[in-house]
């Protein structure tokens, strides 16, 4: 039986993994979780966000710069901009041909 409570369409959460003991202390992986839900399905996307390093009483957070995700995002945006620009150019060109 399905629950009557509906999940939001978009959720962004931060998830912490299990502590990993090392010789000098412990590290805790931190991930960013993006959930998209729609009727009949959804998408979960997990990406590394940081590593928390704990040594004795001190703790520090080391962010993970995900260059691959940034590159893919840039490529997709560039592709969309080129497609939009070409579409606009071709529509104007067709209009000018019919105006003659």
The model's pLDDT over 41-90, given as tens digits with 9 standing for 90+, comes to 999 988 899 999 999 899 999 999 988 888 999 999 999 999 999 999 99
User: Do residues 46 and 66 touch, judged by C-beta distance below 8 A?
Assistant: no
Asked whether residue 11 falls in the same domain as residue 49, the answer is yes
The structural domain count of the chain equals 2
Residue 21 structural domain? 1-64
State how beta strands 26-38 and 41-55 pair. antiparallel
In sequence order, the 6+-apart residues with CB closer than 8 A to the CB of 53 are 25, 27, 59, 60, 61, 62
Asked whether residue 16 falls in the same domain as residue 48, the answer is yes
The model's pLDDT over 8-47, given as tens digits with 9 standing for 90+, comes to 889 999 999 999 999 999 999 999 999 999 888 999 988 8
Query: Quick one: pLDDT at residue 2?
Result: 55
């Amino acid at each position: 039986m399905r629950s009557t409570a509906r999940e939001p369409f978009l959720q962004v959460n931060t998830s912490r993994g299990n502590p990993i003991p090392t010789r000098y202390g412990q590290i805790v992986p931190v991930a960013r979780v993006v959930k998209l839900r729609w009727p009949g399905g959804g998408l979960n996307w997990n990406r590394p966000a940081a590593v928390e390093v704990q040594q004795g009483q001190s703790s520090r957070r080391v962010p993970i710069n995900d260059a691959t995700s940034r590159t893919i995002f840039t490529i997709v945006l560039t592709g969309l901009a080129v497609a939009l620009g070409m579409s606009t150019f071709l529509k104007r060109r067709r209009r000018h041909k019919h105006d003659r």
